[in-house]
Structure 1
Amino acid sequence: MSLFVASLNSGSNGNCYYVGNKDEAVLIDVGISCRETETRMARLGLSMRKVKAIFISHEHSDHIRGVAILAKKYKLPVYITPLTLLHGGLAIDADLTIDFIAETPVSIGELLVTPFMKLHDAAHPHSFTVAYEGVKVGVFTDLGAVCENLVQHFQQCHAAFLEANYDEEMLERGRYPYHLKRRIRGGKGHLSNKQALALFMDYKPSYMSHLFLAHLSKDNNDPELVYNLFSTHAGGAEIVVASRYHETALYHICASAVNSYAPLVNLQTSLF
């Protein structure tokens, strides 16, 4: 009863998240190159042979940049909605693309991936949870606001990648033009530190052992600032800031047989 998770990259320059058990895994988004995906997985001791599918959240380039080449090279099925495929302009073989429906779980071996709709300025945006033998991990980025769907899925997770994109004061004082600031904080852009913290404090389940803060803005946030903010309210969960420059460590998420949940162990050995 365990899942292995890592962020391979997290930010406006590319997003890619690995979730799997000992036999199979999925990638949520591939916004970095095929070569960089392979390199970062190899540094973590992860093999592409374990990856059985790719799930795409929406069509923005920082989430799809490397998917076509990676899927073609490894003959991986790409779970993507028709609207996302159309607006992304992706050249993926038709026999590798598979549609999915919100709230309808998809079985990838023994993994169960559940997509759900989110608020973001994309054609058909979704977030995902990945479950295995009672352990659940969420990948929640590119969120314009905290909606009921997000709350429902977040409060079931043993670990989650959660967007904390910007500090409100840094955004206000920063160099971005007004129209871009308005887009970011306009309800279908990105989640601020305060919005993410409110979700965490109000709906964190008692068994959540790790929170990965994801998709930080390069210009409007600071990793130390957001780490300190969440650590003050961690409530027993370990806080990890996912980098826009390199992969995180590999983390092992376990659940005991009696529904009390062991803390994550940081694995940096070659398990696969």
Structure 2
Amino acid sequence: MFHCCLICTDFSDGLYRLVDFVPALAASGMKQIIFLHSVPLWEEGGIPRIDDEAIEKARDRLQQSLKSVPDGVDIKIEVPSGRPIDTIPKAAKTHQVDVVITGMPLRSLLQEKLFGSTTAGLVRACTTPVLILRPQLISTYTCEELDLRCQHLFRYLLIPYNGSNASKYLVQKIKDYAQNRPDSSLEQCLLMWVVDEGGRRGVPRDYQLREAQEQLEPVKAELEQLGLQVNTEVRLGNPYEEILDAALEFDISAIAMASDNLGKLIEFPVRSFAGELMRRSWHPILFFPPQR
């Protein structure tokens, strides 16, 4: 689905392991891979300075882990000095990457409020899609499991859809990328509409379910025109729970998301559908940022 990725690691999230799986990433269609580790400024003595020693150690660690690079694949290592929230969007723009890959531990909205989240800030700052992986999983995969995961990062996407502007935008972005997708990349989509049990009171549930299925059909046809295998699913229930359950049942590679509003950390009561899935899902989340 993508040709160029920026993989960001702080060496505690497990994503640094991906340097050992460049051939598997190449098998998923990647032609250019940039590994990035941000080194904070050295602030001892009261004057912030670039920590050249830490930069050199990080660069050596990433470089030494690179073993076999397939022909036709370009690998770069970036070790900038500064905060990840600043260095990652800058590197993504410089290298014109298609997708940023980063880690985000499971957190509640309260924890995000109290402790902050680099990834939550990153999805607001980036203009490119962001693939969010769970460090707990990446760290515990065996080499065989991680090799297979890297080959199929985007093979089967779950696309939540409800007719909203955000869901229409999401489908359009997936269509845009699917048109030029590499071989062995995106193959299938699950187009899913969850009728919320608490919504549209007074309207018969059967009617809502039938209406949802009817609205999914033309969207399915649009995606099938791009050579994708598309399944549809309409359910009644809690959107978060039903989507997470479907991701398990259908062997999904990642859940695709877009949002009109992710909320701000200072807005304590704000909850967005995309934000909640990013906090709660064990499955990778492929987030498409709003147009700016």
Hey, which of these two has a bigger chunk of helix by percent?
Answer: 2
Larger CA Rg, structure 1 vs 2:
2
Hey, which of these two has a bigger chunk of strand by percent?
Answer: 1
